[in-house]
Amino acid sequence: MRIAIIEDNEPLANAIAYRLRDRGHAADVLQDGSGGDAFLRQEGADLVVLDINLPGTDGLEVLRAMRARGDGTPVILLTARSELSDRVKGLDSGADDYLVKPFEMDELEARIRALSRRKNLDFGAVQTIGALAFDRATRQVLAEGAPLDIPRRETAVLECLLDRAGRIVSKAQLTDHVYGVGADVDDTAIEPHVSRLRKRLAAHGVVIKTARGLGYMLETTA
């Protein structure tokens, strides 16, 4: 799934992103509240890891703005504040969970898993296309119930295409989803992943169509 990390402590943000990407998630790192708010309005995410103490617009303002516009994306707040009143304020502002720094990465991962189960989120559902099914909880592609051996970056490409089913997805959007927004990666880096994924899916009646100069779109054969 796609997780937005809004945290101004660069080493911590990068460490979280590295851990999540290693687990196969797409991680976007934003380092100030205004940029994080703009990203969530324009791009969105499946889950947000949000620091309270951000420069400019603080995390609680970002969270309140999300909820005010009807954005129910799950949010885990991060903060160095340990007082009960601060935790209550964060939860009352619409947060789904709360972690006090310092914390272990294993605990953050466990909170993410628990939140996905508790909220019964869409990314835990199974989505079908052609003869295939994509289990968002396990991030596995299934053919007749059996998992296909697809590398995680190709799986992330498929996930992004499925998220935008029926629409053309640009190389830039795919690159951001697979590597994270702001990653020092050229858009052409996504092409080998798309090419290999196209070959894997073709045998199952699923086609990745190229819209020259625009991007890619999933289709099924008759």
**135-151 tens-digit pLDDT:** 876 778 898 888 899 98
- Pairing relation of β-strands 26-30 and 47-51? unpaired
Residues 77 and 129 in one domain: no
Residues 150 and 52 in one domain: no
Interacting residues of 24 by C-beta distance below 8 A, sequence separation 6+ = 139, 152, 155, 156
Q: Is the pLDDT of residue 154 over 60?
A: yes
Domain containing residue 167: 125-220
Residues 76 and 115 in one domain: yes
Q: What is the mean pLDDT of residues 62-73?
A: 91
Sheet of 126-129, strand order: 126-129, 132-135, 140-143, 146-147
Query: In the 8-state DSSP scheme, what is residue 218?
Result: E
Residues 92 and 193 in one domain: no
Residues 103 and 206 in one domain: no
Residues 111 and 196 in one domain: no
Whether the Cβ atoms of residue 93 and residue 71 lie closer than 8 Å to each other: no
Structure tokens at 80: 């160095």
Task: Please tell me the distance from the alpha carbon of residue 108 to that of residue 128, in angstroms, as a whole number.
Answer: 30
Which pLDDT belongs to residue 119?
A: 57
Question: How many domains is the chain partitioned into structurally?
Answer: 2
| Residue pLDDT, tens place only, 11-66 | 999 999 988 887 777 788 999 999 999 999 888 888 999 999 898 889 999 999 99
Residues 70 and 132 in one domain: no
Q: What is the CATH number of the domain that holds 71?
A: 3.40.50.2300
Task: Please tell me the distance from the alpha carbon of residue 189 to that of residue 161, in angstroms, as a whole number.
Answer: 16
Given 64, 89, 119, the domain boundary residue is: 119
Whether the Cβ atoms of residue 51 and residue 6 lie closer than 8 Å to each other: yes
CB neighbour burial string for 100-139, b if at least 16 within 10 angstroms, e if fewer:
eeeeeeeebeebbeebbeeeebebbeebebeebbbebeeb
